[in-house]
Amino acid sequence: MSSRVNAAGDTRERIRTAALALFAEHGVAATSLREVARSAGVAPGLVGHYFGSKDGLQEAVEDWVVGLFSETLGAVPLEGTVTEVVAARDSAVNGMFARNPHAVDYLRRVVVTPGAGDARLVRKILAEQVAQTEHLRDHGIGASQAPVTEQAVTVLVRQLGAWLLQPALGRLWALSGAQGPEPQVHVTLR
């Protein structure tokens, strides 16, 4: 691969990474392509060159976030008991979120305080989780009487719930002046 191709890939990744951080912090609507370019350290025209438009950039960011889920879950072996596989997958997702705080912050913004056009990412994440759930069912793991979409949403709530809610609890705890360690969110579904 030539250095020019490597440089183009690096530039595209820098732009996407900068966009993810800004979208997470400010939302898509409040982030301009010029801000993304400035944050990425590139000329504004390069954002359009690589992504075509703001919508194209948003879609690339969304696809990257969904790809994180897919790669993370795909790397977990489907060996062991159902409980062991589920625990390994949940642990892998937790690790992925810990390594990618901007992805968590962007998901939080999209799920908790959605803006226009934010439903697309939620639909993509849900479609990925449905595919993952079907894959598990095909391998005799995660069989359920519930429809596959309901089971997929249940898994997403279990995996995302604490990540989405903990910062709000932290703010509430800090504002209250409460003493002692901040309580930790644990999601249990019934």
pLDDT for the residue numbered 167 = 86
Q: Report the pLDDT value the prediction gives residue 3, as an integer from 0 to 100.
A: 52
Distance between CA 142 and CA 189 in Å, rounded? 15
pLDDT of residue 190: 74
pLDDT tens for 82-98 read 899 999 999 999 999 99
Instruction: Give the whole-angstrom CA distance, residue 165 versus residue 148.
Output: 25
Model pLDDT, residue 24: 95
C-alpha to C-alpha distance for 128 and 85, rounded to whole angstroms:
18
Q: What is the pLDDT along the chain (190 residues), one digit of tens a residue?
A: 555 545 557 999 999 999 999 999 999 999 999 999 999 999 999 999 999 999 999 999 999 999 999 999 999 999 999 899 999 999 999 999 999 999 999 999 998 888 877 889 999 999 999 999 999 999 888 777 889 999 999 999 989 988 888 888 888 888 999 888 998 888 887 7
